[in-house]
Amino acid sequence: MVTAMEMSAELPHLLLVDDERSIREPLAQYLTKQGFRVTQSGDAESARARLNAYAIDLIVLDIMMPGEDGLSLCRHIRATSDTPVILLTARSEETDRIIGLEMGADDYVVKPFSPRELAARIRVVLRRVAAGGVRQHGPEAGSYAFSGWVLKTAERTLIDREGVAVPLSTGEYNLLLALVTRPRQVLTRDQLLDLTQGREAAAFDRSIDNQVSRLRKKIETDPKTPTLIKTVWGGGYTLAAEVTKL
């Protein structure tokens, strides 16, 4: 049986970044009703954290925000990923709109705007991205060493202390990759489901708990008393180890 969480993971995942709660929250509710999964951020700092924690399909980004503005965040997004960006701009910000498009933003909507128009533009951009095969970049290719283990992303293999490759299923590899790239960070089951599958991953068992259990049997000295992949009650899971990028 497909759970509500699993159905949610299949929806396009939007990150809505706007410091005005009176605009952000009603817009998020509308977009949710339109069939999108929406995560909200009120500033650039929290947006960066959510981009690191989730596999986002498209970002709706307000240009004018206190602190780091939308153009600066757009520059960071384009430097680190291919995730499409739609800018929210005021009528007086023509120069900013041009700069944003030159930075690589995919579209812009001028305030005040119709939520229906924004939803339509989001769908157009997502269709264009899907047709072009552009997706958010995953972690850079390389190797991650932790507690005597080495995860090689280029070969998608896990090497033990004796240099022997330990076979991993697709689900186990994706889960371990999510953990080693975010060591000591508590990841909820929802975040792990999102990070390990996205919207285009191959089909495999979607139970995060089962994946964790199987992975523990392969890397823990005592799977019943794990010291690497720890459960955070009420939170999720965390990799309790120092990780070195090789």
Q: How far apart are CA 111 and CA 79, in angstroms?
A: 26
Percent share of the chain, pLDDT over 90: 46
> Model-level pTM greater than 0.85?
no
- DSSP-derived pairing of the beta strands 58-62 and 13-17: parallel
Q: Is the pLDDT higher at 186 or at 204?
A: 186
> E strands along 131-228, which residues?
143-146, 149-152, 157-159, 165-166
Q: How far apart are CA 187 and CA 213, in angstroms?
A: 16
> Shortest CA distance to 105 belongs to which of 80, 71, 129?
71
Which pLDDT score, from 0 to 100, does residue 204 have?
39
Average pLDDT over residues 13-35: 95
Which pLDDT score, from 0 to 100, does residue 140 have?
54
Q: How far apart are CA 47 and CA 44, in angstroms?
A: 5
Top mean pLDDT of 2-11, 13-22, 46-55, 67-76 is at: 13-22
Which pLDDT score, from 0 to 100, does residue 136 have?
44
Which pLDDT score, from 0 to 100, does residue 240 have?
95
Tell the residue number behind the tokens 């929210």, with chain if given.
88
Q: Is the pLDDT higher at 203 or at 171?
A: 171
Q: How far apart are CA 94 and CA 113, in angstroms?
A: 15
Domains with residue ranges and CATH for the chain: 4-132 (3.40.50.2300), 143-245 (1.10.10.10)
pLDDT per residue as tens digits for the range 63-96:
989 899 888 999 888 888 888 999 998 866 667 7
pLDDT per residue as tens digits for the range 139-192:
556 899 999 999 998 888 999 999 999 998 878 888 999 999 999 999 888 788
Which pLDDT score, from 0 to 100, does residue 208 have?
82
Which pLDDT score, from 0 to 100, does residue 122 have?
94
- Residues facing 4 on adjacent strands: none
Percent share of the chain, pLDDT over 70: 85
